[in-house]
Structure 1
Amino acid sequence: MNTNIDGERSDLPFITDDTVLPKFAGSILREGDVIFADTAEDEAAGKCVELRKLPKEPTISGLHTIPARPRFFFGTGYLGHYLNSDAYHRQLLPLMQGIKVISVSKAALQDTQVRFPGLSEQAAIGAALSEIDNLITLHQRKRLWFAK
């Protein structure tokens, strides 16, 4: 699962109607923000992506998401990987509700704890895990290409 969205490499949808954007002026996302999935048909509710290298155009999150802004800076890539880890997700499981569709609320997310080392170690962890994610993606593409 991709834990980071690189705005320079991702095709992000955007709003072309200039009359709509002022309604979301207070919801414009910034570098380092995190977007959580608030609903899913399985335990993917609560999974998230960390935003990196956002385009110059204003960016907002979509439906069934919860945008979150860290109170202080985290090392690039660390927060997205940590918040998708089993250790963090186990905190969310008892806070999720629903039977067919599972959801997690903003209040539930606020009741969790985020553990983190120093900034340089965060950056090293984020870089290492991002590199592993890239290698997995490359191998998956290679496997799909050979399957054709």
Structure 2
Amino acid sequence: MVQLEFLQAAKESGDYASLIEQIPYAKLLGVALREVDGQLLFELPFSQHNIGNTHLPALHGGVIGGFLENAALLHLICTRESSEVPRTIDFSLDFLRSGKAQSLFARCDITKQGKRVANVRMTAWQEDESKPVAVARAHFLLS
């Protein structure tokens, strides 16, 4: 469970660092979150330890997937009225291009939210939002 005071403080200040600190894998990856034009924008700042293929170099596919899943979880936490962390039911990821050795960005859209389940679509890109690196879909169990 995310402590409610971290969630409230993050929403009021627009500084989501204390909220991300509560999610160990998001913290390990270095996920950053900010609000841009009223929408949540997620960033995975470039870090050498996120490289999977050193010959290209390219971001590790698992890092991209983990970043998108954490972005969706954080998006649900920030947009819902509950401090409970949703649980992943399933996650599907399509890689569209190689993730270059640079920062990765993502946006999430809740395509449907019921009382018990939420469907979320995630898109990740680097230089141009119209040229995604990966897209993902997930279902989450809500508490």
Normalising by structure 1, what TM-score? 0.29
Normalising by structure 2, what TM-score? 0.30
Higher strand residue share: 2
Larger Rg: 1
